[in-house]
Amino acid sequence: ELKVEQNPLFLSMQEGKNYTIYCNYSTTSDRLYWYRQDPGKSLESLFVLLSNGAVKQEGRLMASLDTKARLSTLHITAAVHDLSATYFCAVDGTSGSRLTFGEGTQLTVNP
Amino acid sequence: DGGITQSPKYLFRKEGQNVTLSCEQNLNHDAMYWYRQDPGQGLRLIYYSQIVNDFQKGDIAEGYSVSREKKESFPLTVTSAQKNPTAFYLCASSIVIQHYEQYFGPGTRLTVT
């Protein structure tokens, strides 16, 4: 059974600081997705990582994938309040078209 | 505009009643999914369908039923057998070519009292 673990689950940081969210998964996969969820809202796709060494950047967020280590990171640079949200990683396992989601990391950026 | 619609946004029901949540997509996606999210929790897969007239149970299918009679529609029925149905329900779809990036609808918040 594929397991996806994120850490930390809760992250409170100051504006302007840098931090990294980690997503570990338990079985072989070379497809990983990051989503953002604002309170009370649906999920919004952020990044699609499709191969070992893939790196994607959008604004202050950068995601990377290391399939050998079964690890993806979401790096936040110079955080701003607008980045406050819950971030989920999801892994495309071997059982058809379903994704397995991590528990989510609730990020709060304080002024 | 292409997208996924879910209705209603909020739904209130009495215990013991079945209720059906609507999910429609005009993205021409093959696969559709239903997730449940409880407060402060992640997503749990209820059912998914990769093709019309076929669907598979997810991790928490008990007390739920689905149908997939049309490519664009994947309604979810929450039956009276579901012990704790109050939750946020999310529908998603994916194209199922090369990879399975899922696109999510706005969600339905179901409250059962």
Reported as a single tens digit per residue, the pLDDT across A3-34 is 999 999 999 999 999 999 999 999 888 789 99
Average pLDDT, chain B: 93
**Residue B108, both tokens:** 């339905």
Cβ contact, residue pair A97, B104, below 8 Å: no
Q: Min CA distance, B39 vs chain A (Å)?
A: 9
Q: What is the pLDDT of residue A94?
A: 62
Write phi, then psi, for A81 (nearest 5 degrees). Answer: -60, -35
pLDDT range class, residue B1, cuts 50, 70, 90: low
Angle at B93 (CA atoms; ends A96, A72), nearest 5 degrees = 65
Cβ contact, residue pair B99, A50, below 8 Å: yes
Reported as a single tens digit per residue, the pLDDT across A43-95 is 999 999 988 899 999 999 999 999 999 999 999 999 999 999 999 999 987 66
Cβ contact, residue pair B42, A104, below 8 Å: yes
Q: What is the pLDDT of residue A92?
A: 84
Under 8 Å between Cβ of B107 and B88? yes
Cβ contact, residue pair A103, B104, below 8 Å: no
CA-CA distance, B67 to B74, in Å (whole number)? 6
Q: What is the pLDDT of residue A95?
A: 60
Q: Which residues make Cβ contacts (< 8 Å) with residue B84, sequence separation at least 6?
A: none
- Compare all CA atoms of chain B with the CA of A102 and give the residue at the minimum distance: B42
**For residue B34, which of B72, B70, B88 has the smallest C-alpha distance?**
B88
The 8 Å CB, 24+ separation contacts for B87-90 are B87/B36, B87/B37, B87/B38, B88/B36, B88/B37, B88/B38, B89/B6, B89/B21, B89/B34, B89/B35, B89/B36, B89/B37, B90/A42, B90/A43, B90/B6, B90/B34, B90/B35, B90/B36, B90/B37, B90/B43
Mean pLDDT to the nearest integer, B91-101: 81
Mean pLDDT to the nearest integer, B7-16: 93
Q: Does residue B106 have a pLDDT over 80? A: yes
Instruction: List the single range of A5-9, A34-38, B8-12, B94-98 with lowest mean pLDDT.
Output: B94-98
What does B49-76 look like in DSSP terms, one character per residue?
EEETTEEEE-SS-TTEEE--SBTTB--E
Measured between CB atoms, which of B31, B42, B101 is closest to A45?
A: B101
Q: What is the pLDDT of residue A72?
A: 97
Q: What is the pLDDT of residue A96?
A: 61
Q: What is the pLDDT of residue B40?
A: 84
Cβ contact, residue pair B56, A96, below 8 Å: yes
Reported as a single tens digit per residue, the pLDDT across B46-63 is 999 999 999 999 999 999
Q: What is the pLDDT of residue B97?
A: 63
Q: Min CA distance, A15 vs chain B (Å)?
A: 23
Q: Which residues in chain A have Cβ-Cβ distances shorter than 8 Å to B93?
A: none
Q: What is the pLDDT of residue B54?
A: 94
pLDDT range class, residue B35, cuts 50, 70, 90: very high
